[in-house]
Amino acid sequence: MTTVTTPTPTSELIAEPWASEQTITCRDDRVGLRAVIAIDDTTLGPGFGGVRYRAYPSTEAAAREAQRLAAAMTLKHALAELPYGGAKSVVMLEGAAPAPGSTERRALFARFGEMIARTAGTYVPGVDMGTLLEDMQTIRDDGGARAFCDEVSPSPFTARGVHAAMRAAAVHHHGAAGLSGLHVVVQGVGSVGAEVARLAHADGARLTVADVDTARAEELARELGGATVAADAAPFHDADVFSPCAVARVVTRDTLERIPARIIAGAANDTLDEPGCAEALRAAGITYVPDFVANAGGVVQVHGGVSGWSEQETLAAIDRIGERVTGLLETGEAQGITPVAAALQRASAALGREIVA
């Protein structure tokens, strides 16, 4: 029999048991499984959302993250007009993650797949931080659950959507020239950010790029004839557009006054440190494109793949993110509310319940 270390969380509480439509805890000591599935809202369809596999200090922290991310998926899908609800799961990791392809890892995800299968398709998992395509295949093949196992990377599609969002905001403020001649700073030039920078450059923007991996930033700057800036200085670099494509919560109440850019549009989830930042940005004259609207290109591509769309259909659906952003900015201006509030209004109408930030 295999011996597996079972995570021993310091707390067994779920802080907000009623935060989601369903919050399911999963445990099997034989394979070291401790997981939480949060199904936030299934009004628009089955809850789709990735499986995050990382260490958590407590059950409470794991459950809170699953519920928070599931709620964000509800918004993302509602705004992208996709037939999915919002869900997310977290598998709690203790120590080093079992190697890809190992018996231990396969047993873990097979068992988790069996538990996902019990939701009878109400929760559909996909890849997220710490999980791999092969883990989804194990969930599907060995666990018997429906899982999204598309072998196409979502990142270029996410980047296309972020670029469409950024360009729409630029057109809204600067007219038809859009990004041409504007200075764009991209923070984090990984698989999404680098492509966002290339697309903005192709539109005639001047680029400054930042990454904790400085060699990566320098290489991209050379390719685009742009410049680099230190990763943590990127939000405060003199620019027209700031595109956060790395980590969460880069815009805080304390720092937003130091952001010179008039437009913020990026891929990073949870860009705002807290909901009140949206109003503070509006008061400061900065147009913030909600992250959950801008970064939906990847989920649109997943849906296109599942639905048998042609590449043209998928790309056209992603480009509609730009039209959506224009609509939100117009609504925001007409009603004197933030683009985030305008987006929440739309989500509330789609879901038939009021969603507040």
Cα gap 146→113, rounded to integer Å:
9
Stretch that binds ligand NAI, among 1-9, 65-73, 240-248, 306-314 (CB under 6 A): 240-248
241-260 binders of ligand NAI (CB under 6 A):
245-247
Cα gap 199→226, rounded to integer Å:
13
82-101 binders of ligand NAI (CB under 6 A):
none
**Smallest distance from ligand NAI to CB 193, Å:** 5
Residue 268 binds to ligand NAI (criterion: CB under 6 A): yes
Burial code (b: 16+ CB inside 10 Å, e: under 16) for 283-322 equals eeebbbbbbbbbbbbbbbbbbbbeeebeeeebbebbbbbb
Residue 302 binds to ligand NAI (criterion: CB under 6 A): no
Q: What's the DSSP call for residue 256?
A: G
The CB-nearest residue to ligand NAI is 190
Cα gap 165→158, rounded to integer Å:
11
Closest to ligand NAI by CB, 46 vs 190, is 190
Residue 192 binds to ligand NAI (criterion: CB under 6 A): yes
Mark whether 88 is an active-site residue.
Answer: yes
**Smallest distance from ligand NAI to CB 3, Å:** 33
Closest to ligand NAI by CB, 100 vs 181, is 100
Residue 211 binds to ligand NAI (criterion: CB under 6 A): yes
1-60 binders of ligand NAI (CB under 6 A):
none
145-184 binders of ligand NAI (CB under 6 A):
154-155, 158
**Smallest distance from ligand NAI to CB 222, Å:** 16
**Smallest distance from ligand NAI to CB 292, Å:** 9
Residue 190 binds to ligand NAI (criterion: CB under 6 A): yes
- Exactly one of 88, 106, 111, 172 is catalytic; name it: 88
**Smallest distance from ligand NAI to CB 301, Å:** 8
Per the CB < 8 A criterion, the answer to whether 142 and 109 are in contact is: yes
Q: Is 244 helix (H, G, I), strand (E, B) or coil?
A: strand
Q: What's the DSSP call for residue 103?
A: H
Of 43, 40, 38, 11, the closest CA to residue 23 belongs to 38
Residue 289 binds to ligand NAI (criterion: CB under 6 A): no
Q: Return the residue of 115, 185, 199, 231 that touches ligand NAI, per CB under 6 A.
A: 231
Closest to ligand NAI by CB, 131 vs 158, is 158
Q: Return the residue of 85, 113, 193, 226 that touches ligand NAI, per CB under 6 A.
A: 193
Residue 213 binds to ligand NAI (criterion: CB under 6 A): yes
Cα gap 147→119, rounded to integer Å:
12
Name residues whose C-beta falls within 8 Å of residue 37's C-beta, 6 or more positions apart in sequence: 22, 23, 24, 26, 66, 87, 88, 89, 115, 116, 119, 123
AA letter at 210: A
If 0-12 CB within 10 Å is exposed, 13-18 middle and 19+ buried, where does residue 10 land?
exposed
Please identify which residue in the block is written with the tokens 């989500």.
347
Binding site for ligand NAI (CB under 6 A): 154-155, 158, 187-193, 210-213, 216, 231, 245-247, 267-269, 295, 298
Which residues are designated catalytic? 88
